[in-house]
Amino acid sequence: MADKQGFLVKEGGNIKTWKKRWCVLKANSLFYCKKQNGTELGIIHLANVKLVRQSSRKNKKHCFEVWTPERTYYMCAPSDVERDSWIETITTAKKALEARKTQATANGASPGSPQEEKITIKDFDLLNVVGKGSFGKVMQVRKKDTGKIYAMKVLNKKTIIERNELAHTQAEKNILQKLIHPFLVNLVYAFQTEDKLYFIMDYINGGELFFHLQKEEKFSDDRVRFYCAEIVCGLEYLHAKAVLYRDLKPENILLTEDGHICMTDFGISKEGLATENDKTVTFCGTPEYLAPEILQGKSYGKAVDWWSFGTLMFEMLTGLPPFYSQDVQEMYNKIMNDKLVFPPHVSADARSLLTGLLERVPEKRLQDAKIIKAHPYFKGLDWDAIVRKEVEPPFIPNVKGKSDTSQVDAEFLAETPKLSVDKDCNLSQTLQQNFAGFTFVNPSEHLQ
């Protein structure tokens, strides 16, 4: 999680204008971002910071300076109290980073290297199975030395190779380790054994959206609007970072203990789609949420995520996806051909938004996050407050403590949490090389 975040007014580099930026201090860097979607405009690495202090500029209130060899950054906080808090937090993080470097040098390892903190499966107690899929399983685990609770996703190397999923697995790890957003799951560690890959992530214990939707059949309009707003912000950020999600569905939306959403599982996400003209052709995703262009075998872009978003919104409002059928082929036919029909209780504004999102022609589909945010369905929402998690969630999961599993499907919890050794793995050295560089330790874990 971020050490500190909030709005600061920052002086520009070449053009000396002052602009309001949403700033996040996390790991070894101070990120300053656009307020609309969190797109990173620049990074100040704490390793390069020489001094942080109150500024003596007379014409600027609540101002502080961050000195680096390249330049001095000037930032203004909303108040003197906030200014002093930023100075103290940055200074403390800087000292922690320097202490870690000193300790690493004393141990003969460079900071951030695998030798500095070598994580293995032996560092964790297996507590519960909390999710399963064709890839393997997700377990709730506890790190032995700190007692922290995490989610551990386990992938079988042999299965990855046999199913030709190597590129997807590499993309998932790359995406998880580089993206920082309030509504995306956070990767803490990644490591491997001869037969398996392990992702250690934040444990989000409010339950899957799917779990809650099954229990309640459908959600109120206010609750749907809240979840949709947070999902829009998450998708906007992913698309701004050239990432196509491709698997938006209730099972991949988790609720935090305080009721906010967290998007997870980037196993089939695609990197590198930076412009509107960038396309891909792989047939993948979950049947109910597939856009027509995928079913037609056409090349596609980010518009498919907004079709999936519309499908999910419809399902939250009504209890079922708009073109659902137990027969998959019949459902595909409905997705491509059937008229969109709304139950009477769906509001006019919701119908209007859904009609735009579930437009079969991608070029005509609503797919600009700014236009979606401005739709009457979201009238009155403070989007900056949404990203800052300052809007009160309409539903708070009934959880007690970080290790609570009451919101997890009982079918998963009934399974004994254990790891089997794949004796038939026997991957050649050449195939094992495909997983080189998989190890990852999130630097922010050292600054907690």
Active site residues: 247
- Listing DSSP states for 7-73 in one string gives EEEEE-SSS--EEEEEEEEETTEEEEE-TTT--EEEEEEGGG--EEEE---TTSTTEEEEE-SS-EE
Could you give the CA distance from residue 9 to residue 19 in angstroms, rounded to a whole number?
A: 5
Structure tokens at 95: 């000292």
Could you give the CA distance from residue 67 to residue 55 in angstroms, rounded to a whole number?
A: 11
Nearest CA to 239 out of 260, 264, 262, 269 is that of: 269
Element (H or E) spanning 272, and its range?
Answer: none
Structure tokens at 75: 């930032």
Question: How many Cβ atoms sit within 10 Å of the Cβ of residue 13?
Answer: 10
Residues 189, 442 contacting (CB under 8 angstroms): yes
Structure tokens at 112: 């951030």
**Which residues on neighbouring strands pair with residue 419, listed in sequence order?**
none
Alpha helices in 124-165 (DSSP H): 157-162
Q: Alpha carbon 153 to chain centroid distance? A: 15
Q: Alpha carbon 327 to chain centroid distance? A: 32
